[in-house]
Chain A
Amino acid sequence: MATTVELDHRKRPPADSGLPLEPEMHPLVQRPHTLVSVGEALGDIVFKPHPRGWWLGFLAGFALLQMLLVAIAWLFYMGVGIWGINVPVAWGFAIVNFVWWIGIGHAGTLISAILLLLHQKWRTSINRFSEAMTIFAVMCAGMFPLLHMGRPWFFYWLYPFPNVAGVYPQFRSPLTWDVFAVTTYFTVSLVFWYIGLIPDLASLRDSAPKRIQRIIYGILALGWRGSAIHWRRYEKVYLLLAGLSTPLVLSVHTVVSFDFAVSIVPLWHATIFPPFFVAGAIFSGFAMVVALAIPIRRWYHLEDFITDHHLDLCGKVMLATGMLVCYGYFSEVWMAWYGHSLYEWGTTIERLFGPYGWSYWCLIFCNLVVPQLLWSRRVRRSDFWLMLVSIFVLIGMWFERYVIVITLSREYIPAAWGRYAPTIWDYATMFGSLGLFLTLFFLFVRYLPMISMAEMRELLPKNQGGGGGHSITENAP
């Protein structure tokens, strides 16, 4: 089982550097693989018939997507009044889902960019599909602010474009920042993902059985030939993009949190929101990665590449970010009490014990109580338990945003207090967005290598033809 990995002593970090992972202790590829077997194991997925799990996931997603299209058609015909939103609670599921999806989108970039810069080699087996997940999640997220607008056909008014009317976005509004943040994030993530795909697309081009596949993958591979100069430029661009993405991971959710924090709504107006939101985003993002990785590695028998060790590490990240998030919950309540503001504390009371108190306790259960299981190594290494915790976390993080948005129901003026009840169209749009995500994700799994072949090959020990965990250019003389 254990493979001896030849170490490059030049690159080895000193023992006291604090870096958690050492390749020799935690093999990132489970069984002896060669360059060819990696290609067969990962690349051939695209060309082989798909397991039943794929059809299950795809068809479920596709059906939900149709529901989304119906919901959107009706929404555009009737207006946002088909949802349950009203005047105290003018934002409803749309914003909850927006923040939730954006949060999920964070894990991909974190894994691909920040962990790359930190030389966390274990990211390799999960970065590709996490990045895809990011892109699809951001697509789902980006859809919601557009749909939630009263007059969505004027969405472009949020962009600064030259026009004779001389009107311009209002740059003090966090919604304007949001537009820039999300657009930038999506663009950079997409480019990063695509650049990373190029060597693999070339591999697919070269091994595709059908002509049409060869043509399409060929076009997408942009003429990649695997020459040293290609690799050199590729590595540079990839590193640069990683550097560019890194601040985005922090900025996007910070800006999203400004949507709330800049307002004067009690419990929204809090300085803790940016770090709190970023931690929550990573928390939910990793939960989603785990929730996708576990079934996929089982259906496609990828246990060699996505090992229990990977899941263990994801579990640890979840535990850490989860604790950060819970510190945020504590801090909110503490500051509301300690700050001695009648409205902050009154709203906290309503949040905890008011008509929507159940959702707060639901959130506490999902995000504080259940993740404590992750302290156990056995849980972190168990498919079932980890999957269970991840789903709880995903639900809990959805409730976190719900709790935030529902704060609107009871804030300053008692006579204006109200309630919010989602309608069937709210649910249709929410689950429909899940459909969009699943459809896109399963199409990705179907047509593109979900684990980076090139990088997995780099991970192989040198005696098996790999780079010993180092990129080609790193080893180049």
Chain B
Amino acid sequence: MSRERTEQQRIELAVESATDSPTGVSDAEPWRDEFPPGAMEWTDEVSRRHFLTLMGASLALAGAAGCNIRPAPARKIVPYTVQPDEITPGVPLFFATAHPLGGFGTGILVRSNEGRPTKIEGNPDHPSSLGGTDPIAQASLLDLYDPDRSAASTHNGLPIGYEQVIQAVRKELYVLGEPKKNVRLRILTETVTSPTLASAITRLLQDFPLAKWVQHEPISRENVREGSRLAFGRVLNTVYDFTQADVILALDADFLGFGPGHVRYARDFARRRKVRIDSQDGVKPEQMNRLYAVESMPTSTGSVADHRLALPSSLIESFLRDVARELGMPEVPPSRTLPPQVQSSVRPIAEDLKQRQGRVAIVVGEHLPPTVHALAHALHVHLGAVGKTIRYTEPVEARPEPTRLSDLKTLVSEMQQKQVDVLLILSSNPAYTAPADVPFAEALRSVPFKLHLGTHQDETGVLCEWHVPEAHYLETWGDIRGHDGTVTIQQPLIAPLYGGKSAIELLADITAAPYREGYDIVRDYWRKRFTAEKRNGIFDVFWQESVRRGTVVDTVAAPVTPVLQKEWLKNAPVPPDAPLEGQFEINFRPDPLLYDGRYANNGWLQECPKPVTRMTWDNAVYMSPATAQKLGVKVDFRWTGGEHGRAEVTVVELTYRNRTVKAPAWVLPGHADGCITVHLGFGRTRAGKHVAFSPNEPNAEGKPVRGFNAYLLRTWDDPWGGRGATVKPTSQTYFLACVQGRWYTTQRDPISGLEMDRKPVRYGTLEDYRRFPQFAKIPSMAVGEWELINENVPMPKGYETHAAHGHANGHSHDHDHTHPTQEGSAHGHNGSPSHDNHHDHRLRPLTMYRPMETLAPDLRPEQRRRWAMAVDLSACTGCSACVIACVSENNIPVVGKTEVTRGRIMHWINIDRYYVGPEDKPEQLQTYFQPRMCVQCENAPCEVVCPVGATVHSSDGLNDMAYNRCVGTRYCSNNCPYKVRRFNFLTYADWSTGTLKLGRNPEVSIRSRGVMEKCTFCVQRIRYAEIVAEREGRSIRDGEIVTACQAACPSGAIVFGDLNDPDSVVSRWKKEPTNYGLLAELNTRPRLTYLAALRNPNPAMPKGA
């Protein structure tokens, strides 16, 4: 990356961003101003003669330009005289680094194509990742290329050199190189775990005795820290080992989808969910774990739980107290009354926990009060889980002790009293994220010198006199710690696109005059530490190794054997009562994808359907069906709109502590009654403009922003909400872009009155599995022919269909099968099919051709491949990591809310979410996820109907799509029973924004309008591996090709491979009895099959829980 180019870009973009100046121009729409401050004006008077001269010359020049005398571009192209090490054009490289969120890092590997980061995947060596990622980490790539990023240092909104900013700061802080001791400096950061940054801040604090460091994290973990302090007398970090946990109790905790280490936790958890006959890939049925979830708002964790209880957050403490008393901790004070259904579940849960002899884990949501955390710690000790499933370590945060939302309040009052001279805001946006009763933005006016370091000229940036663009984490050196304390050295993949600086560099430049590169600072820190810790070996080797691996050895936080303090229980506050009638408990939660709002300008995350709710582009007031009915709130899918896209909902006025916002309401089955949930992170006024194909729609208040800002209701003393909220429905309606409106798999037959179950997702309990392992193979129709149908599901080479019918697992033949099929299956089928009763031999197979192994008979054996995929629905948590992985890998465009409401979302993977259970008893519903993408039918219905042969079969069984040949009749989409084809109804791909082009995968073409597209099984990765294998004269190894979704999946629910290799993982998975083909009864012969979702319910639990 040439230095000149970035310089050039910086100046160009500086002019652009100057129009966003806060001064002099209306703040709402500054770009409307024709003559922004600093713009040059044409002062010449134009005479007719002059005008004609200019026009003539312009025309002549324009004509000459069209002649194109020199075909080459105007600039000289200099080829590499010396090839840079390891760079081969066309061959991507992977670099290890870590994605920071909330201060914690998740190890990632970033793919670099000719120096441009194009894809983020998990780092298998990193303990917080183990190879998986989450949607946010992957989508952070798009943030790097965000065209709305701040492009220049500014002073009062006008571009200025970075050096001048540094000089200005130094002038405030230093006299003749000596620190001014009386400067009241304040440094505002987010949670910091970075050792280098912490040491830089500490050094600054030493120079200025009156200085203070304030950490402001809107999604604060203060309750977690406070809880451990209550229980153990000091702040400790909790690390779970879910591979050892037989029973897990999650209390309002989405540990599979949120929080430090959740990617790893999902994998650990899923390991004990994959029930397999072949023990290489999973566990035996008796080893399956059991998850109880008690939560207010349905989350991924609650959705995959074996038992889920809906309970308002404020009652969860009472619940845990009851469990504790039941477990023999009489010192725990009794609780308030719980709803009867929850109350009756306490004893079975406690019994289950007791029986497992310490192989249990209790996970508590970060937003629950410290006493709940402390109680959970006490229970861990009581049940003997410490050292087995729970590990306590030293805290990971650089300064864990007094960090809470109230710190910001103290800072603001200091600011208001003019007790702050210099305020450095480092990568934080408190003007947006501050609680409503902490007037940060207002108080900022009273600070004489304020500097903002941020990636965007955001809500805070425009209020600060000085602004420095922050480098993205993929552009700069740094270090960060994972959930267990492991340090990752973050290395840059690209020179700062917009000339940004990292916080480390900025502080170093402020502290010492010679400007230093982040590389030197981080390296110097580690060199010092290397020496101080007396590590063996050579520093350079240590450094190289650490950077390459993405982890620094021996940096895991030190284990601590905690001592439980008992007195705290006496002083613990009494948990609150059940909510009053007419008033609601309000729960503030981070958005599952936008987090605290920092990703509001990220189109991938905005458009990704949120786990469980499947909402895009908006947040809403989530409430239970009963609550909605009481309030008269409606969610309407009208015939003009769509079940698949557009939902018209009631707008409510939400009042909490005398502050009111207007927001759309959403009815969410499984939500606890009497409380509502709102997601933070929406309603940003200065998030950026270029995010989607279609423009912003006005939100429920009519403002042109996305969603409503829940921070406007939040208060500092009760940041996660509390009781006393009122919800008043208005007559106004609003439309939300929810991509799935059909929640049930069943349909009522008006004639017979039966529920007809289409069984797209097949599920059963462990008991069902033991009784009849093939239960999932029974389709929703043609039940009598289920064996024939399953013969038409592509199976591994050498697999004998009949051999697998229950023989492999010690299933006795004379056993009378009275296994129940799923309740309400296909109408009219009575009695259950038994594998002993062989199918009717008069029936002909569904195809008149013999099952074929390959379409091309003249291939060498190693070229005969049958690519296939299997998805384990027991392991899928619906987290959407695969969706973003697919978007990133395959250059899938963002279409915007308007287009989503028209049913035109382009994602190649849908995470379908189904509710199973009685519709009128939403609290008894079970949730199942099903990732649905192209199943690559061997007998593809789409192929026969294409008039131009644009979708054809490859010899290795892929259903290929030739974009260039497609004329867009869309017949293939109509004829696809899985509805996984996506059409470019308009020109969705962004062909104009330059920076976005850099981030695209060069191996995948950009589709223009009028072209059909769909999942390709990441054909570019297959072909790449084939070329490599061919060159190395070997066949492709199993596991060599990893599809993007497979690589991303935190729980390892997806496998891909060759069915002709009987030992490949995918072949092994497909031999499992739970393997079934979706809509296999249509004779599509799907290459992608599912493994049924297994649940492990506790028979002692009350019915319906």
Contacts and interface: CB of A to CB of B under 8 A. Distances in A.
**Are A and B co-members of a single complex?**
yes
Interface of A: 78-82, 84-91, 145, 148-152, 154-155, 157-158, 167-170, 172-176, 179, 259, 262-265, 337, 340-343, 345-346, 349-350, 353, 355-356, 358, 408, 411-421
Interface string B673-711: 000000000000000000000000000000000000000
Nearest to A339: B781
A149 B828 contact: no
22 contacts: A79-B984, A79-B985, A80-B968, A81-B986, A86-B644, A87-B973, A87-B982, A91-B974, A148-B970, A149-B1010, A150-B966, A151-B967, A151-B1010, A169-B947, A173-B946, A175-B945, A262-B944, A342-B781, A346-B756, A412-B758, A413-B977, A421-B640
A419 B946 contact: no
A149 B973 contact: no
Given A87-B973, A150-B969, A167-B965, A349 B750 contact: yes
Given A340-B828, A414-B758, A415-B740, A87 B781 contact: no
Nearest to B979: A416
Interface in B638-665: 638-646
Given A174-B945, A263-B975, 15 more contacts: A80-B1010, A84-B902, A86-B903, A90-B971, A148-B969, A149-B1010, A150-B984, A167-B965, A265-B977, A342-B758, A408-B974, A415-B912, A415-B913, A419-B643, A419-B644
A149 B968 contact: yes
A353 B913 contact: no
Residue of B826, B903, B946, B977 with most partner-chain A CB within 10 A: B903
B979 A88 contact: yes
B1093 to A, nearest CB: 15
A213 B1078 CA distance: 68
B1079 A151 contact: no
Given A79-B987, A79-B1009, A414 B744 contact: yes
Contacts of B984: 79, 150
Nearest to A359: B639
Nearest to B900: A86
A353 B904 contact: no
B36 interface: no
A150 B903 contact: no
B967 A157 contact: yes
A411 B643 CA distance: 13
Contacts of B828: 340
B979 A413 contact: yes
A179 B947 contact: yes
Interface string B585-619: 00000000000000000000000000000000000
A421 B975 CA distance: 20
B184 to A, nearest CB: 58
B232 interface: no
Contacts of B968: 80, 149-151
Contact of B970 (A78, A79, A90): A90
B921 interface: no
Contacts of B1010: 79-80, 149-151
A153 to B, nearest CB: 9
A148 B902 CA distance: 17
B634 to A, nearest CB: 16
Contacts of B747: 346, 349-350, 414
A355 B904 CA distance: 20
Interface centre among B750, B751, B981, B1009 (most CB of A within 10 A): B1009
Contacts of A411: 977, 979
Contacts of B638: 355, 419
Contacts, number: 219
B204 interface: no
Contacts of A168: 949
Nearest to A341: B781
Interface residues of B, number: 73
A342 B979 CA distance: 18
Interface string B902-919: 111100001011100000
Contact of B948 (A148, A169, A346): A169
Nearest to A89: B903
Contacts of B941: 263-264
Contacts of B1082: 264, 412
Given A150-B1009, A264-B977, A412-B758, A419 B642 contact: yes
A16 to B, nearest CB: 47
B749 A349 contact: yes
Given A158-B947, A175-B947, A412-B977, A78 B986 contact: yes
Interface string B950-979: 000000000000000111111101110111
A155 B973 contact: no
B983 A87 contact: yes
- Most chain A CB within a 10 A radius of its CB, from B914, B966, B970, B974: B974
Interface in B355-387: none
Nearest to B975: A263
A141 to B, nearest CB: 16
Contacts of B1074: none
A80 B985 contact: yes
B985 A85 contact: yes
Contacts of A259: 971
B644 A416 contact: yes
A417 B643 contact: yes
Nearest to A148: B969
Given A151-B968, A419-B640, A413 B978 contact: yes
Contact of A415 (B760, B946, B947, B986): B760
Given A345-B827, A414-B758, A355 B979 contact: no
B236 interface: no
B975 A416 contact: no
B1097 interface: no
Contacts of B985: 79-81, 85-86, 150
B1100 to A, nearest CB: 33
Given A157-B948, A414-B742, A345 B756 contact: yes
Given A80-B1010, A85-B970, A353-B750, A150 B644 contact: no
A262 B982 CA distance: 21
Q: Give the 7 A-B residue pairs with the shortest CB-CB distance, closest first.
A: A150-B968, A150-B1010, A418-B644, A86-B903, A81-B985, A81-B986, A415-B912
B932 interface: yes
A150 B903 CA distance: 17
Contacts of A150: 966-970, 983-985, 1009-1012
Contact of A417 (B742, B947, B973, B986): B742
Given A90-B983, A341-B781, A412-B978, A346 B758 contact: yes
B940 to A, nearest CB: 11
B973 A154 contact: no
B801 interface: no
A163 to B, nearest CB: 12
Given A265-B974, A342-B756, A170 B967 contact: no
Contacts of A346: 747, 756, 758
A417 B1079 CA distance: 15
Interface in B799-851: 826-828
